[in-house]
Amino acid sequence: GAGVSQSPSNKVTEKGKDVELRCDPISGHTALYWYRQSLGQGLEFLIYFQGNSAPDKSGLPSDRFSAERTGGSVSTLTIQRTQQEDSAVYLCASSLTDYSGNTIYFGEGSWLTVV
């Protein structure tokens, strides 16, 4: 597609429920990233995919968070048993290969509110 597409754009969920956030990167981009941004805060790195593999999962905050990428394209970030502190904007980004020398393009984000 023309840009990085994320869905849903907004999600309100009850504490304890599971949520899935989807990212469709720019066509042809092999690198995909997930970041989290809490209200008024900076960008917190979650995970990075190169193709379907995740060489760096160090940012996932707990074992309730997982992510996968299939077909070298779409990625899903899953949060199990959501907590109120999970409320944030989850931003997906993609780039042609990897960080070095490549522009990273962000999606509009998925706004998650846990009530």
Binding site for other proteins (CB under 8 A): 33, 35, 41-45, 48, 55-56, 58, 91, 99-101, 103-109
Contact of 78 with 20, CB cutoff 8 Å: yes
Q: Which is nearer to other proteins, 12 or 99 (CB)?
A: 99
Specify the residue, 58 or 83, whose C-beta has the smaller distance to other proteins.
Answer: 58
Residue 85, helix vs strand vs coil: helix
Q: Roughly how many angstroms between the first and final C-alpha of the chain, as a whole number?
A: 33
CB of 109 to other proteins, least distance (A): 5
Q: Which is nearer to other proteins, 51 or 55 (CB)?
A: 55
